[in-house]
Amino acid sequence: MHEPCLAAARAAMQQSYSPYSGFKVGAVIVSDQGQTFSACNVENASYPEGTCAEAGAIAAMVMAGQRRIRDIYVMGTGEGLVTPCGGCRQRIREFADADTMVHICNPEQVRKSMRLEELLPFSFGPEHLDTPPATQQG
Ligand code: THU
């Protein structure tokens, strides 16, 4: 059941622009409406200004007018699990709910699946603010 998303993540990884780190990452979001959005990491010569694959996939989802992540697949290579960085955990959190699943993958398979809550416990989110987005424009 993961295979279509693994294939999309592999395709995203291949588009990675990561000449500085040499570390290709692909991310695929499945929205609550069942649509998929994928992206890769995009680096630049000013190293800290690169963007993670997850950030690109979130931007694509928002651009399509969608706001809820049901699943997110993050794919990379190497021994260690390629989990979302701290910043991306918060980016995912913005559009996640209690059931949002994060699937950590290599090109062959899903290595580990977990709820966002496990990756980012005691998180801070929109509902902590006096004016959460539901009451604002956008
Ligand atoms: N990277 C991602 O795209 N997502 C992650 O979850 C971890 C790290 C990218 C950022 C950078 O282009 C490269 O991987 C090495 O850190």
Question: 22 CA distance to ligand 1 centroid (A)?
Answer: 10
**pLDDT, tens digit, 9 for 90 and up, residues 46-59:** 999 999 999 999 99
**Band (99; pLDDT cuts 50, 70, 90):** confident
Q: Specify the amino acid at residue 56.
A: G
**Site to substitute for ligand 1 among 85, 91, 111, most atoms within 8 A of C-beta:** 85
Q: What is the mean pLDDT of the chain?
A: 95
**Band (130; pLDDT cuts 50, 70, 90):** confident
Q: Is residue 63 classed exposed, middle or buried when 0-12, 13-18 and 19+ CB atoms within 10 A define those classes?
A: exposed
- pLDDT score recorded for residue 73: 98
3, 43, 54, 127: the active-site residue: 54
Which residues are registered as beta bridge partners of 102?
72, 114
pLDDT of residue 129 exceeding 90: yes
Residue ranges of the domains in the chain?
3-136
**Band (3; pLDDT cuts 50, 70, 90):** very high
**Angle at Cα 130 formed by Cα 126 and Cα 132, nearest 5°?**
35
Ligand 1 neighbour 42 (Cβ under 6 A): no
**pLDDT, tens digit, 9 for 90 and up, residues 7-21:** 999 999 999 999 999
Q: Whose CA is nearest to atom 6 of ligand 1?
A: 84
Catalytic status, residue 117: no
Q: Under CATH, which architecture does the 3-136 domain have?
A: 3-Layer(aba) Sandwich (3.40)
**Band (43; pLDDT cuts 50, 70, 90):** very high
